[in-house]
Amino acid sequence: MDLAVPPARPDLSRLTAQAAAHLLQRRELTAVALLEACLEVIQAREPELQAWRHFDAAGALAQAQQLDQGPLRGPLHGLPLGVKDLFDTRDFPSGYGSPIYRTHQPVNDAAAVALCREAGAIVLGKTVTTEFATFTPGPTANPHNPAHTPGGSSSGSAAAVGANMVPLALGTQTAASVIRPAAYCGIVGFKPSFGLIPRAGIKSLSESLDTVGGFGRCVEDVALLTSVMANAPQWRQLPIDRKPRVGVCRTAFWDNSSPAAQAAFEATVQRLNTQGVHIVDVTLSDAVNALVEVHDAVMCAEAFKALADERLNHRAQLSERLQAMLERGGQISFEQSLRHRAQVASARHQMGRGFAEYDVLLTPSACGEAESGLEKTGDPLFSRIWSLLGFPSLSLPVGFGPQGLPLGVQVVGPVMSDTATLGFANWIELHLKD
């Protein structure tokens, strides 16, 4: 890992991706200058945070020089990008967070990575993921306090953006792997509606849950990144002509959140109320609340099948926690899986009717501040329902808790409402800063 780079202007590393893209598109900023600023931060913080699995500074600088000398490539022209080590990459090994694949070198990029490169992004390297995007963590630490977890499974991507190593990074979410790390690291994370971004070339865990998402410093950033992968330029058209109607959904699991998280959530609601936002209190039905347990069952059952080869031929190299998860999955019958699908379809229809009264839901992103220690990545409780339903969701930072660590709130929209959900989330983000 060659981190020897010349000194650069450190303020450039703090630019939002949207601001940097504007300057790059106008040729008022060079890709080399932006990259050097990011590399300087990496050189200073990577030994402590360990956000990267593989990294190539020299290769990235060569890409930046080519971009500066050639025509504009696309919306991501010259933007440094971190890629979760669950995505295949033609120029970096892809280990999927497992010793089984320590030396695995794909010959192709995952579709999402190829689309980002086509749009001009500079892939710096691969960021740390938990084991097969499950719960056993890698070495990555929280950029706000390295004694705490950055969350998972997209640990390295969230930490890299949170530490100003890169303005953008790719993640995936099966349970809470974008939303919770974004909340823990004080950045914005976006999980689009299920299926809108291609998953070709990404190590599968759960066929009906795995979703590609991204991290940035603001809603504009994640809209820019994900719009490229979804081939949905309309996602970047964020301004809306009215205030959102917000459903406040504390969920049945409110008592599992910390007093600090509850206080930050209530302060956010009050702030929106003072902005004249129409607020609707939303109580989820028992059938929707039950989806937390259904999500766990679906994930385990599908992981049992997706990781069949690893389970059968490399069991000794799987963590005990993953082995136990796969054993649970093997005990779920086909008939049970069909009943779970019916439950999800019914709940999705029920929730769809509810969205007639509000545009987006506001709900917790996580149980509180990032947990201490690096042995766990936190509880996915507050994202399981929305991941199972396939709804688009974002985590927005809303201050800090008593330990000085970030807190977030989650904005959720109905399935396939990504353009509107991004627009309303952008409105909320801007007005929370007023």
Which residues are the active-site residues?
A: 84, 153, 177
Residue 407 · residue 183 · CB < 8 Å: yes
DSSP string computed for 348-395: HHHHHHHTTS-SEEEEESSSSSPPBBSS-----GGGHHHHHHT--EEE
CA distance 164 to 257: 28
Name the percent of the chain in helix, strand, coil, to the closest 5: 45, 15, 40
CA distance 392 to 191: 6
H or E element at residue 127: strand 122-127
Tokens representing residue 318 in the block: 């799987």
Residue 362 · residue 250 · CB < 8 Å: no
Residue 385 · residue 290 · CB < 8 Å: no
Amino acid at 328: R
Q: What is the DSSP code (8-state) at residue 252? A: T
What is the β-pairing status of strands 406-412 and 393-400?
antiparallel
SS (H, E, C) 208-244: CCCEEEEEECCHHHHHHHHHHHHCCHHHHCCCCCCCC
Residue 128 · residue 181 · CB < 8 Å: no
Amino acid at 338: L
Residue 89 · residue 110 · CB < 8 Å: yes
The b-or-e profile of 415-430 (16+ CB within 10 A means b, else e) is bbbbbbbbbbbbbbbe
Phi, psi (rounded to 5 degrees) for 169: -155, 150
Pick from 1, 151, 165: nearest CA to 79: 165
Residue 392 · residue 232 · CB < 8 Å: no
